[in-house]
Amino acid sequence: MLRTPLLHPDILRSIARAGHHSKILIADGNYPASSKRGPLSELVCLQLSPGIPTVAQVLKPLLEILPIDHINTMGIDPSDEYALKEDPAVWTEYRAIMNEMNFKGELEPIIKWDFYQAVQSADHVLTIQTADQATWANLLLSVGVRT
């Protein structure tokens, strides 16, 4: 029996193989996970029902067990048809989790099309597809080093 807040065997297997600079995408329910991912990445679909689980619910256990150097969110291009005038509410939730978990970095947006390119790199090892219904909820984590 594992003593970890993360129990999903496929996620554990994939992150155990990840190394420094590996990328893990926690995708919302709208993200095109079948087509926008790295050539070597695995896809784990966690959609149970609309809104369950959320990206935030996946973020917290990952931060508990993994060293993470950077957390990027999909940044909003002002010309995008779904653009908002301010940060999405879900980003506030991410920042609260990052603070709670003593993450030292900042939430760093990468504009949508550059975000897709970052995800499609050979460093991308895992996509965790959630059923999060919030817009602009995607997160790209960069694995750090164990010290």
Query: Of 8, 10, 69, 87, which one is the catalytic site residue?
Result: 69
Active site residue 77: no
Please report the pLDDT score of residue 34 as a whole number.
93
Please report the pLDDT score of residue 42 as a whole number.
97
Active site residue 116: yes
pLDDT under 70 in the chain at which residues? none
Q: What is the DSSP string of the chain?
A: ---SS---HHHHHHHHH--TT-EEEEE-TTS-TTTSS-TT-EEEE---BTTBS-HHHHHHHHHHHS-EEEEEEEEPPTTSTT--SS--HHHHHHHHHHHHTT--S-EEEEEHHHHHHHHTSTTEEEEEE----STT--EEEEE----
**pLDDT tens-digit series, residues 94-112:** 999 999 999 999 999 999 9
| CATH number for region 9-143 | 3.40.1650.10
Please report the pLDDT score of residue 28 as a whole number.
98
**pTM of the predicted model, to two decimals?**
0.95
Active site residue 69: yes
Please report the pLDDT score of residue 77 as a whole number.
86
